[in-house]
Amino acid sequence: MASDLTPQSVLRQWLLTTLGELGGSASTGHALRQMEQRYGSHLTPGDREGTERDNEPKWHNRTRFERKKMEREGLLIPARESRGVWKLTEAGSDEYRRSRGPGTTPAQSATRPRSVESPMLPAQPDGTQSPTRVEVTTQRIVRSTAVAEYVKRLHDSTCQICGTRLVTPTGAYAEAAHIQPLGRPHEGPDVPSNVLCLCPNHHVLFDLGMLHISDDLAVIDQHSGTPLGRLTERPGHQIERCYLAYHRTHHLRSDKQDR
């Protein structure tokens, strides 16, 4: 079945990477063995099936086919010139370097851990030892720490959605989440009735509109509409329904714009 085979484009990437990391060339047998070693765990049963003609695994033939295609595209030295050695041309080496991301040479990438070899994973960025620092001027809304602290203390730093209470060496950690955001264009008020005590995960999900809260305080998954539970309430902390309504309509609107 065709769907059971690794796509040609993936075989091409594996071949390019393998040759690149072997310094640009390898004998046919060595190249195929190296590919097997690196990507064998990704090969499908269909890839490993033998062909009717010579019982060689299908992925060998399909890789040879890809090699010929790359030769025609100028990425590999023509077979008749290279005497059984698969060798990248200058253009092939460039292609390999491009596929590994900026600033990478074959020598460097050969030392990388095996886990980044998978074509399904993104290339690991090089990062920097000394990040550039720039001076910026920002305008920041001054939030009342008192409001945030009050709500968190009332809930004993326990997430109102999932009940998680993160304990750290400096005390329990929770976040104060504004229901109607403070910034423009929302201009929500910084008052306890507009603030929830949430764990960091639920804070993010709530701010991104992945969750909304109904007037009867049911926590609803925005996309499926499934109720996930009920917001925990504590005496002394009344949630104003108009802020919940604002959060719902705001995210319903932006949800529609995305589509």
Contacting residues toward Zn ion, per CB under 5 A:
159, 161-162, 164, 199, 202
Residue 22 or 204 having the CB closest to Zn ion: 204
Residue 64 or 234 having the CB closest to Zn ion: 234
Nearest distance, CB of residue 228 and Zn ion, angstroms: 10
Nearest distance, CB of residue 211 and Zn ion, angstroms: 10
Residue 109 or 158 having the CB closest to Zn ion: 158
Nearest distance, CB of residue 230 and Zn ion, angstroms: 13
Nearest distance, CB of residue 121 and Zn ion, angstroms: 29
From the list 18, 123, 137, the residue with the least C-alpha distance to 66 is: 18
Within a 10 A sphere around the Cβ of 41, how many other Cβ atoms? 8
Cis peptide before 185, with omega less than 30 degrees from 0? yes
In SS3 terms, 86-146 reads as: EEECHHHHHHHHHHCCCCCCHHHHHCCCHHHHCCCCCCCCCCCCCCCCCCCCCCCCCCCHH
Residue 32 or 159 having the CB closest to Zn ion: 159
Nearest distance, CB of residue 171 and Zn ion, angstroms: 18
Residue 10 or 154 having the CB closest to Zn ion: 154
